[in-house]
Amino acid sequence: MYRIMIIEDDQPMADAMQKQIEAWGNQCQCVTDFRNVISAFASYDPHLVLMDIMLPFFNGYHWCSEIRKISNVPVVFLSSASDNMNIVMAMNMGGDDFIPKPVDPQVMVAKIQAVLRRAYDMAGKVPVLEHRGAVLNLNNTSLTYEGNRIELTKNEFRILQTLLENKGRIVSRDTLMTKLWQMDAYVEENTLTVNVTRLRKKLEGAGLKDFIATKVGSGYIIESKDGFL
């Protein structure tokens, strides 16, 4: 499942595009504050952006340049002015493709799928680990849930990655400590407990209660069948 961000000020058109994208099994979010596009982008952390050229305050070329300062995420431009100059400008400003308006839903979906395949190793997949709707992106170490990004420390990310990679199996405390601190044999065991406790609080704060279970005397587990699946 990919996250698609639509930056289009024609709200009926944006809503129709969102509905079509979600019908194909992807998540989608429309930007509504066109003064703070980068904030919305950073918060949603999309896999692909659909960018209108003519926008309030700043045009799509400007926002594509701003996105390129922090991310290589694919950007597909939208414009009713589908002449050669706009296409050249879109590509020169860091765009990955161009969809003319009025948008044909089938053409839009086909182009989105093609760009995603090219961008993510031709396999159509992003290296992620998912459980209960929470998605851990191994490329940028981000955790997202219901469109919200949960900030993790390096240790919290490693703990969650290890548990998700072993979903349904108990991971011993020794295994986690080796994963986190490797050659440092002088780390107190309580340090792991502190890290797991902080991680749990972040998950619960985001609505992911009982995401990590403790197996007394054994370690920790993310259960594959926990009543939430």
Beta strands in 159-224 (DSSP E): 171-172, 213-215, 219-221
**Is the distance from CB of 48 to CB of 118 less than 8 angstroms?**
no
CATH for 128-221 is: 1.10.10.10
**Predicted pLDDT of residue 82:** 57
Tell me whether the CATH fold assigned to 3-119 matches the one assigned to 128-221. no
Q: Which residues contact 184 (CB under 8 A, 6 or more apart)?
A: none
**Predicted pLDDT of residue 221:** 95
**Is the distance from CB of 67 to CB of 42 less than 8 angstroms?**
no
**Predicted pLDDT of residue 227:** 41
Q: Which fold has domain 3-119?
A: Rossmann fold (3.40.50)
Residue closest to 112 by CA, chosen among 191, 215, 2: 2
Domain range summary for the chain, segments of one domain joined by +: 3-119, 128-221
Mean pLDDT for back-to-back runs of 10 residues, the chain (229 residues): 90 91 88 89 90 89 86 86 69 80 85 84 61 83 83 89 91 86 59 91 92 92 63
- Angstrom distance (rounded) from CA 68 to CA 47: 13
pTM over 0.85: no
**Predicted pLDDT of residue 210:** 92
**Predicted pLDDT of residue 123:** 46
**Predicted pLDDT of residue 24:** 84
